[in-house]
Amino acid sequence: MLYAILAYHVEEEVASLTPQEDAALMLDLSKVHERFLEEQRMGPAARLGATKGACVLRGPGKGVVIDGPFTESKEQLLGFYVIDCADRDAAIAAARDLRRANPSAMYEIRPMLLYRPGVPFPLTEAGVDGAVVAAFHSDSIDL
């Protein structure tokens, strides 16, 4: 089963890291990433840009674009991972691995479905049995 692991952090704390501290953090996280890749469980992951460049589209019709993210917490969503895990407990263990590398972050864990137009949902929900893992590594499939 696929799980989204959403990484939240106080943006000002991340921005205040020195280049050396940021490089050390990314090195620690890359060790976890490499293990997930070796286990063929790592899907897309991204470090998101600053929230000052974010906007929200909401409302009826064409909607209205409003500058800035609007959350009700001190933390902002600064990155995410898509990890293939056998179950919720395995997803929690993966998030704990990430947290050991970045202990001041908060990780939200959500089951997810991979939507790819034209591909039946049973195939995209296959998870650990190989169908989705193979899609992560295919040169001909864009996720």
pLDDT band at 113 (very low <50, low <70, confident <90, very high): low
Residues 6+ apart with CB under 8 A from 96: none
Q: How far apart are CA 47 and CA 78, in angstroms?
A: 6
76, part of any domain: yes
pTM for this predicted structure: 0.69
Domain containing residue 48: CATH number: 3.30.70.1060
Q: What domain range includes position 105? A: 2-136
Q: How many domains does the structure of the chain reveal?
A: 1
Residue 18: is it exposed, middle or buried by C-beta count within 10 angstroms (0-12/13-18/19+)? exposed
Say if residue 130's pLDDT is above 60: no
70, part of any domain: yes
116, part of any domain: yes
Instruction: Please check whether residue 75 is in contact with residue 63, taking contact to mean a CB–CB distance below 8 angstroms.
Output: no
Rg (CA), the chain: 17
18, part of any domain: yes
pLDDT of residue 117: 59
pLDDT of residue 124: 44
47, part of any domain: yes
79, part of any domain: yes
142, part of any domain: no
What are 2-41's pLDDT values in tens digits?
Answer: 899 999 898 889 989 999 999 999 999 999 999 999 999 9
141, part of any domain: no
What are 55-99's pLDDT values in tens digits?
Answer: 777 778 888 888 776 655 677 888 899 999 998 899 999 999 998
pLDDT of residue 131: 40
